């Protein structure tokens, strides 16, 4: 008998044999089905508003542009350990600890691993599922049952040993499963970019706190010098009072100024302690275990090539994360589209069934069944249309989020380019102010000693000098912090090409 099966008689009883053509069909069917068409839109990266040049980057013809020449591919900009550009061994050591022990970074790494596991789960649906069961049944049939056609049923107690293996396979005819796998992989890429963004954010936060802390050290050093100077002026007024030249009012004013400066010096300890504690937490350690030696900032902000604006789309991990998330949302449109088409489920079962375990492995004890199942939703009250519209709306949301992320990135670069340029000009102006104030203090001091000026004039010029010097220290700290923020805004030397590929994620 020709057909799907042919039956022949042998020593072991009945045997079933698949014909060659049908065996080939069964083996190749999953492959043919898995390479069927995919419905839904093909992803294309949407455009984003990208300027041709940075507004706050001076043109090459101006002197200020010497530190901001456009970067070329693979130039000397910050790469990887971007903090090395500051040439500070203590900062380098702290940054290494952030990458290893910061709890937020470790959590982001775990989220990336979880996303990779989700890809493996989604990918498993592409393959058949097989389940095996061992069933033991002991039952008794009533002897009073009677069937007109079959006659008396076999009565009494009987035992059945059953070992079925059930196989099911969801044919991916319209590509919904493959889109789910690809969407999971793209979400994992987004998670990998988010990990790098978290890493960069906390590395930059530590560098900022580090320079802010040493900015406080600079203010403390300045106030310590000021307190020593005010003590000398206090002793000067007391000596002049003892000589009958100065009044008690001069002594009181000098003492008031001295005590005020001492209070300011003590108050700086609060800010320094808080910055030191923040650094400890960023490195994953309790505050009691971290002590940062006092050291005022002596270095100048490094030269940081800003590059061309279009490069920023590849250099910012948050932009890459938004773009990959947008691609993942696009896959949901295809999945919603595939729901309009029939689904094909292939199921089969093979196994052993016998009244005795000893007969399990004889051919007559073999059992099998096979059959495809085609399903199509004929009425759902508009649910599939709503899901399709929802997927498209979510994609539009992701496009807007992506473009907003790009715009925010350009704003951050422009803000810090402007900050560095303006603060450099302010530094030069403040240096001139300090020089002028110091000259005024020298004149006032000479006039006071000569008896032609009051001590109030000396105090006034001293206040100007102190204020200008504190402002100068603060500006320098802000310049160092702005250079850190610019590096962060430029992506810290990261590049989207370092993300794991779809192929790597789906093959793992």
Q: Which structural domains are found in the chain, ordered by start?
A: 39-126+172-341+382-507 (1.20.1600.10), 130-171+345-375 (2.20.200)
Question: What's the rounded Cα separation, in Å, for the pair 203 and 369?
Answer: 61
pLDDT (average), residues 62-81: 41
4 pLDDT above the threshold of 50: no
pLDDT tens digit string along 479-502?
999 999 999 999 998 999 999 999
Query: Which pLDDT value is given to residue 145?
Result: 58
pLDDT tens digit string along 265-295?
999 999 999 999 999 999 999 999 999 999 9
Angle at 6 between CA 5 and CA 10, to 5 degrees: 130
Phi, psi of 102 (to 5 degrees): -65, 125
Identify which has the larger pLDDT, 8 or 86.
86
36 pLDDT above the threshold of 70: no
Distances (CA, A) of 281 to 104, 198, 209, 289, 290: 10, 15, 11, 10, 9
Measured in whole angstroms, the distance separating CA 328 from the mean position of its chain's CA atoms is 16
pLDDT band at 22 (very low <50, low <70, confident <90, very high): very low
Question: What's the rounded Cα separation, in Å, for the pair 499 and 285?
Answer: 30
Give the residue carrying structure tokens 């002590």: 291
pLDDT (average), residues 11-35: 44
pLDDT band at 149 (very low <50, low <70, confident <90, very high): low
Query: Which pLDDT value is given to residue 67?
Result: 36
- Per the CB < 8 A criterion, the answer to whether 398 and 329 are in contact is yes
Identify which has the larger pLDDT, 153 or 216.
216
Going by C-alpha positions, the residue among 43, 81, 189, 118 that lies closest to residue 499 is 189
Q: Which residues pair with 161 in a beta bridge?
A: 136, 354
User: Which stretches within 81-125 are classed as H helix?
Assistant: 89-101, 103-124
pLDDT band at 255 (very low <50, low <70, confident <90, very high): very high
Tokens found for residue 176: 């919904």
Query: Which pLDDT value is given to residue 179?
Result: 93
pLDDT band at 316 (very low <50, low <70, confident <90, very high): very high
Question: What's the rounded Cα separation, in Å, for the pair 422 and 440?
Answer: 27
13 pLDDT above the threshold of 90: no
- Per the CB < 8 A criterion, the answer to whether 360 and 183 are in contact is no
22-36, 74-88, 155-169, 327-341, range with the lowest pLDDT: 22-36
157 pLDDT above the threshold of 50: yes
pLDDT averaged over the chain?
85
Range among 36-40, 166-170, 188-192 with highest mean pLDDT value = 188-192
Going by C-alpha positions, the residue among 413, 479, 489 that lies closest to residue 204 is 489
- Per the CB < 8 A criterion, the answer to whether 193 and 248 are in contact is no
Q: Count the helix, strand and coil residues of the chain and give each as a percent rounded to the nearest 5.
A: 60, 15, 25
Query: Which pLDDT value is given to residue 147?
Result: 54
Identify which has the larger pLDDT, 450 or 472.
472
pLDDT (average), residues 354-369: 78
72 pLDDT above the threshold of 50: no
154 pLDDT above the threshold of 70: no
73-77, 81-85, 276-280, 436-440, range with the lowest pLDDT: 73-77
Largest CA distance in the chain: 141
65 pLDDT above the threshold of 60: no
Side-chain half-sphere CA neighbours of 496 within 13 A: 17
pLDDT band at 73 (very low <50, low <70, confident <90, very high): very low
- Per the CB < 8 A criterion, the answer to whether 227 and 265 are in contact is yes
């Amino acid at each position: 008998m020709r057909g799907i099966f042919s039956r022949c008689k042998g020593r072991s009883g009945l045997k079933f044999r698949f014909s060659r053509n049908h065996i080939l069909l069964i083996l190749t069917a999953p492959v043919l089905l898995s390479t069927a068409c995919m419905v839904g839109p093909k992803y294309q990266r949407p455009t984003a508003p990208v300027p041709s040049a940075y507004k706050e980057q001076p043109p090459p013809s101006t002197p200020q542009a010497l530190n901001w020449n456009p970067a070329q591919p693979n130039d000397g900009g910050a790469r990887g350990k971007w903090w090395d550009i500051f040439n500070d061994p203590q900062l380098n050591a702290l940054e290494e600890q952030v990458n290893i022990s910061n709890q937020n970074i470790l959590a982001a790494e775990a989220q990336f691993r979880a996303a990779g596991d989700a890809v493996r789960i989604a990918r498993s649906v592409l393959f058949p599922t097989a389940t095996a069961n061992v069933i033991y049944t002991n039952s008794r049939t009533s002897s009073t049952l009677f069937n007109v056609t079959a006659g008396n049923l076999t009565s009494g107690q009987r035992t059945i040993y059953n070992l079925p293996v059930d196989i099911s396979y969801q044919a991916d005819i319209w590509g919904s499963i493959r889109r789910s796998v690809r969407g999971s992989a793209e979400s994992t890429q987004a998670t990998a970019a988010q990990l790098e963004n978290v890493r960069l954010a906390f590395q930059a936060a530590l560098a900022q706190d580090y320079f802010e802390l040493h900015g406080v050290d600079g203010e403390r050093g300045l106030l310590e010098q000021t307190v020593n100077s005010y003590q000398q002026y206090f002793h000067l007024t007391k000596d002049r009072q003892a000589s009958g030249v100065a009044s008690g009012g001069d002594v009181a004013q000098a003492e008031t100024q001295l005590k005020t400066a001492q209070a300011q010096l003590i108050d700086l300890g609060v800010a320094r302690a808080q910055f030191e504690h923040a650094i400890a937490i960023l490195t994953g350690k309790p505050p009691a275990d971290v002590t940062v030696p006092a050291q005022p900032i002596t270095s100048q902000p490094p030269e940081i090539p800003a590059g061309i604006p279009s490069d920023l789309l590849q250099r910012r991990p948050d932009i890459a994360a938004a773009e990959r998330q947008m691609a993942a949302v696009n896959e949901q449109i295809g999945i919603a589209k595939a729901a309009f088409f029939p689904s094909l489920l292939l199921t089969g079962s093979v196994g052993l069934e016998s009244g005795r375990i000893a007969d399990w492995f004889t051919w007559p004890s073999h059992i099998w069944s096979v059959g495809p199942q085609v399903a199509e939703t004929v009425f759902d009250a508009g649910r599939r249309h709503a899901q399709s519209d929802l997927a498209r709306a979510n994609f539009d949301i992701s496009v807007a989020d992506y473009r907003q992320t790009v715009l925010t990135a350009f704003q951050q670069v422009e803000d810090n380019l402007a900050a560095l340029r303006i603060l450099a000009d302010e530094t030069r102006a403040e240096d001139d102010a300090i020089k002028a104030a110091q000259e005024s203090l020298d004149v006032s001091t000479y006039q006071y000693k000569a008896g032609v000026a009051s001590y109030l004039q000396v105090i006034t010029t001293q206040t100007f000098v102190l204020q200008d010097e504190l402002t100068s220290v603060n500006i320098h700290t802000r310049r160092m912090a702005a250079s850190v923020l610019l590096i962060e805004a430029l992506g810290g030397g990261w590049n989207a090409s370092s993300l794991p590929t779809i192929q790597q994620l789906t093959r793992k």
